[in-house]
Structure 1
């Protein structure tokens, strides 16, 4: 119930203090930029013993208007215990008193957030009245504090709680952290079950259930038959946080037949727990196999062989913000290629030194087949200008990724004339798509999906969509994988590809919460958390930074479904795109989040989080929210950050906007490392262009060529990027556009900040058909009737053939789209070369300053 409350954040709950001091926070974020560790480090931190005494509540008005409340309080501290605790129920009282104390052992390296949730007991479903989110970091060691949390100022509702924190006598332990997430020691519990002593006269089937609360595997069920071999045993395995003081719980379940109804035998069965037992894992000697006879009942024992062992400190998830080894090796080689290209393109008297070479990124927006086709045209224009080899990165969203992934099937694509792959793409784009739904193809798709499901993947509609895209682009099976593209950059012969997706919540709009996930030939990961896995391991199962179950790397076709999953929109987002705004009355039903105590006294360098109150919208609100905001078709993938914790000072890292009162970043118990799965969708649900992936300081990009293929709002990606950068203190130029340009966009806009050398130069290309109507090439006027006809077409009107949902073009329409985007690049040669010249001069200046300091 509490987790559901946080999945519906209300924009109207932004605290006034955050709004007033937004500028101050932005300036501080700007000061912090770049202050994050490149790699992981080991740190030693102590344990603390926390006592939480729930005292009483006052003036509580329950959900039932006809009677007083039947209250209890649930306590949840997931960084210390996987199980929520709760007080007893005080019936029929507006002023319940509990005076119950709960004890936790917490680790000093992590952000420990206690959730106190007040419930009204009900016969059917307990009513969630309110929740308090409290940062344990507000408690000073060896000091008892009593807090009266105001739940409702109008009704003077109050929850009184007493806290005491004491340093534990246990020795401090070492953890691994990158300053954002923490990896604790992972304990592996391996065992074999043997036949135990049997009850006399037992009947029915028996099922043994083993669980370790907080473990990755959760619960293991196995039939427990009389004929089970005693010599081999039944193996089982659990992975769990060693610091959670885990215990092994065993239940023996027996199903009895109580009737003789052969037509409905399920109705004649009764399930009984005939035995249960628990074993503290700490009672075992680590590294030694021990034989255990666990009593389950008076007449029943379970024989097991158990062994516990701490996994190696070497993690399979790379923690850190530095670039991957593969990408860094590429960059060293690419600088040599780029310096040669720039020397020729800019007609320089000498070839620039590698340290003087600017980093250039080309971005393609989303837009389905229109974006894919247009990106081909834009890249062709760069090739015809002879500057494609100076480009370091190519990154795309949605349809642009379809163009990229097809190009990178050829290890030397940029060394060849792009007209050949464009010709192949033309054949597929102009061909009928009916074959995608033929019986033979559907049979093939079914077999593919069943094979994925058999391998353990969570298969859903996104995977089917990936196979549909596979047919659209190839009209046959495509076995290529993302890691195959390593050979495309091994000699730095092509720009480095970065594919974009965003991780969302299934019932929160992408505008409110979206985490950028980057896919490169070497790694997949979140730069927000500084967590990456090898491209070959994406799709495998990870826990606490360790690979616990290896799976086959998915075909790139399935990733194409993720990158271009525009259909994953919820009803509220669909309405927003159609009407220009979301369903406004939904905001009146959302949960209200308020800051009820700012312990930091407005000193923002303090990394403690404010105490927040969550007031749920109620059952009716929940129904409407689930219906209008649920995202049923997001790709559900294994979360490789699962089992990591948020570092105690994570809020000081610029990627987090925890200072916003209602942003999910302010609730670490709800952030991605605490979730079981990733929900990856089209990057267009956040910003319809992958600016956040190339604006990272580690990539040090100097020039961004932004190609916008959106159906409308040609400057929206700039506005959203500017807001994104402003909140995080990332350098980004002023991109203010005049009203005239908003109505009638030009082919190219150049934005730069001459006063900030860290700010990239941005060249933005809206997809327009302005001068192309009159000129078939830069400076060459259209003369014949056929030439005039080829340039006279609409890119944005309702009857345009280039609508986003149109996957099939007529041959002449495909050619028109290629040519107009190529032309828009060629026609702005001077602006592009001017930007490269300015970036080269800036790099030279930086290199000279570094040299003079040495």
Structure 2
């Protein structure tokens, strides 16, 4: 309130005014607390909701004090507008030349849906002859605009130079009836429109033989994007040229038709195709909104003088349920397994803990075993750790087994036997010994390479996207089996049908090809029943992984890939970019690259965070680093060998309140989760790599609240940094408000770790009990079994397991071991489990006690 107005108030009115302000502040604070309490609570499965459409008007007014990229002249400015949830194409203002204070006063109109997060990007460019220079970009949440009023925003582009961009917004609710969507609280699926038809003929007059004219059909925003067809009359036997597009009606789609002709302009007989140039002869358009739903109609499209196109076309909206599962609950297969597994675990715990009777179904703790990455070293070590658990009669008490990289190679081999955990592990260990100690030269023989080429060609013919990672998967297949292995991941459903084995979960992460895994990585879980992202609550059947999806519907079914191709993804050691390789070698990334990255700032003009709606994203300013900087970024941060897969979340949108889900860290100003236009549902492909590029152990998959894990046995097989996975997991949990015990270690522990560490939060029963096993040769060098010392020289030699140094046989790049080295590594890891029997039993007993006290009920998962 202005001071002069305040001075006119009577003295008696001031207490009432103060009380009203105080009440308003208390109400806003209470509302904020309620919203914070709701943050992190996950919705269950998907639901149908009805939301209105809105008409958004964006008027780009002017900019002030703009300093262009060219220091010798003033800027030639224009503004590009991008709102991908409303239009697949970007719009732009006109160019104002040679002006530091350009004015446009141009208005752009959009039709937006009220259920989704609509983010408008306003990018200021300086026009250039060769390549336009991007000066700055404003990322604005349209939800910040209140309907029914005109709102002017002044965006501070450069406070030091007083650069600003002025934009005027207005939103009105549309008069058209609200429409229904499907959502799980994070993703939104709109009804998919299938536009299909046939091209009957090109023109009335005859078409000469050898005519070089062709048609290009394009539908921006559709899954298929465009197709080409010859411009000719069909024969009597032909039914016309078919076409099909899948699109979103809310994008106001249209079918653009271009008639093109190729002419030869040169005389090069050796390469005539290089002399051809394509010219536009005519064009036409069919607006999808003009077509009746579900009814085939005949359409004549004039293209140019003397040219027309006759076609039949039908646009049909699909109201079916999605073909992928939208929800955060466990799959039906996993839930059915858990019910059966409780009885198995109860019996095993009764025997292992020497109880008169096993725990009841409500008291049975969920125990998870995690294996870290580490190539052949991790695979070999995981065999030893599991053998130790079997010797303690605790393997049947384990509910989940999950792994990263080399640990997944061990798992996937074990689960080829439907009853592997019910048998002595010495047999599979013996087979692994044969493969690890055998020669790998055959993997690169002419016959094997020819076989690999045939496999990759067959994959490509089936429609899969083939990358170097697939070739690496075939190499792993030979390393593990020395022959073709037709097994698929879905085959492992037989291994858990009777809950006879722990439930396997394989870990990978989805990354960006030009962003470090430490900065952005989305955990993807692979189980016998489903593959998906719990972050988004999006899953597909394991049999359908590799098929093409759009807007939640399967567009094309592809054959499920062999498990070796997944092994290549889970252990894709070659997917590192140069910056990550440097970080591994030097302990830190390439520091000068940081100075070349885009600068991202929060520029909300209103700083009343006390009253701010937490479901709205703050306005962010992106200051680009420049073309040369991006060239360096692309070179050092690109993943040339990431496993490219079809993105089954493509065509889905982020829900308007997605920032309230705990998996998202959108409150961090420069995290990609703050930019929904760049998140996975907007991407063409998935880029799946080894989970070790994020956290070298699958803790994030086991810390999902739906799995309700009580005890985690973490086996670390990394070459160095024995506690790094715990520290990274702590940061991961802190960002997302996930309960996790405090990791307290002394300097002595960091330098000379013991065999086992127990971490437990006595005050928070929601937090899992963590038993962490670093890969160390601590007491094994003196004892061949717990309490049994080494007596002979041979026994002492067997205890000298070389885990360090450049001459160690267990370095990650080494895929072949000598037989005695393999035996030593297996026995050492087996011994480390047996030697910590009491620690393991203590953790399990504490978990049973927690269950008995019924303190582990539904987890609120709210941020503290």
TM-score greater than 0.5 by the shorter chain: yes
Q: Which residue of 2 aligns with 1:723?
A: 731
Shift of 1:229: 4.9
1:697 is the counterpart of 2:705: yes
Aligned equivalent of 2:682, options 674, 686, 699: 674
Q: Is the 8 A contact 2:207 2:233 kept in 1?
A: no
Instruction: Give the TM-score of the pair, scaled to structure 2.
Output: 0.94
1:827 is the counterpart of 2:831: no
Distance 1:582 1:614, change over 3 A: same
Q: Is the 8 A contact 2:40 2:737 kept in 1?
A: no
1:418 is the counterpart of 2:425: yes
Q: Is the 8 A contact 2:215 2:257 kept in 1?
A: yes
Q: Which residue of 1 aligns with 2:576?
A: 569
Task: Name the SS of the counterpart of 2:134 in structure 1.
Answer: strand
Shift of 1:228: 4.8
Partners of 1:432 and 1:253 in 2: CA distance: 57
Distance 1:827 1:29, change over 3 A: farther
Shift of 1:458: 1.3
Q: Which residue of 2 aligns with 1:15?
A: none
- Two-structure CA RMSD over aligned residues (Å): 1.7
Q: Is the 8 A contact 1:212 1:238 kept in 2?
A: yes
1:196 is the counterpart of 2:196: no
Aligned equivalent of 2:281, options 274, 279, 292: 274
Deviations 1:185-227 (A, max 9, x none): 1100011111121568877412211111100000011222345
Q: Is the 8 A contact 1:195 1:228 kept in 2?
A: no
Q: Which residue of 1 aligns with 2:448?
A: 441
Shift of 1:259: 4.9
Shift of 1:158: 1.0
Q: Which residue of 2 aligns with 1:765?
A: 773
Runs of 4 or more consecutive aligned structure 1 residues displaced over 6 Å after TM superposition: 26-30, 199-203, 847-850
Deviations 1:740-799 (A, max 9, x none): 000100000000011111111000000000100000000000001110000012212222
Q: Which residue of 1 aligns with 2:19?
A: none
Q: Is the 8 A contact 2:507 2:526 kept in 1?
A: yes
1:235 is the counterpart of 2:242: yes
Task: Name the SS of the counterpart of 2:202 in structure 1.
Answer: strand
Partners of 1:28 and 1:829 in 2: CA distance: 45
Q: Which moved more, 1:386-395 or 1:150-159?
A: 150-159
Partners of 1:267 and 1:526 in 2: CA distance: 45
Q: Which residue of 1 aligns with 2:654?
A: 646
Q: Is the 8 A contact 1:378 1:825 kept in 2?
A: yes
Shift of 1:605: 5.4
Q: Which residue of 1 aligns with 2:715?
A: 707
Distance 1:198 1:252, change over 3 A: farther
Task: Name the SS of the counterpart of 1:823 in structure 2.
Answer: helix
Q: Matched residue pairs, number? A: 825
Q: Which residue of 2 aligns with 1:350?
A: 357
Aligned equivalent of 1:362, options 369, 372, 394: 369
Q: Is the 8 A contact 1:29 1:728 kept in 2?
A: no
Q: Which moved more, 1:784-793 or 1:368-377?
A: 784-793
Q: Is the 8 A contact 2:40 2:661 kept in 1?
A: no
Q: Which residue of 1 aligns with 2:745?
A: 737
1:555 is the counterpart of 2:558: no
Q: Which moved more, 1:809-818 or 1:605-614?
A: 605-614
1:252 is the counterpart of 2:264: no
Shift of 1:598: 5.8
Partners of 1:569 and 1:259 in 2: CA distance: 45
Deviations 1:228-266 (A, max 9, x none): 558501111110012111111111111123455423323
Q: Which moved more, 1:61-70 or 1:183-192?
A: 61-70
Aligned equivalent of 1:89, options 81, 95, 107: 95
The unaligned stretches of length 5 or more in structure 1 are: 1-25
1:161 is the counterpart of 2:167: yes
Distance 1:561 1:760, change over 3 A: same
Q: Is the 8 A contact 2:202 2:231 kept in 1?
A: no
Aligned equivalent of 2:639, options 631, 635, 640: 631
Partners of 1:571 and 1:691 in 2: CA distance: 26
Q: Is the 8 A contact 2:207 2:232 kept in 1?
A: no
1:309 is the counterpart of 2:325: no
Q: Which residue of 2 aligns with 1:460?
A: 467
Distance 1:353 1:89, change over 3 A: same
Shift of 1:724: 0.3
Once the two structures are superposed, the pairs formed by residues 773-788 of structure 1 within 5 Å of their partners are 773-788=781-796
Partners of 2:322 and 2:856 in 1: CA distance: 39
Once the two structures are superposed, the pairs formed by residues 285-324 of structure 1 within 5 Å of their partners are 285-324=292-331
Shift of 1:29: 10
Deviations 1:540-585 (A, max 9, x none): 0000000000000000000000000021111111111111111111
Partners of 1:581 and 1:723 in 2: CA distance: 18
Q: Is the 8 A contact 2:75 2:127 kept in 1?
A: yes
Partners of 2:237 and 2:136 in 1: CA distance: 52
Aligned equivalent of 2:51, options 45, 49, 57: 45
Q: Which residue of 2 aligns with 1:390?
A: 397
Partners of 1:30 and 1:317 in 2: CA distance: 30
Q: Which residue of 1 aligns with 2:14?
A: none
Q: Which residue of 1 aligns with 2:665?
A: 657
1:72 is the counterpart of 2:90: no
Q: Which residue of 2 aligns with 1:144?
A: 150
The unaligned stretches of length 5 or more in structure 2 are: 1-31, 859-864
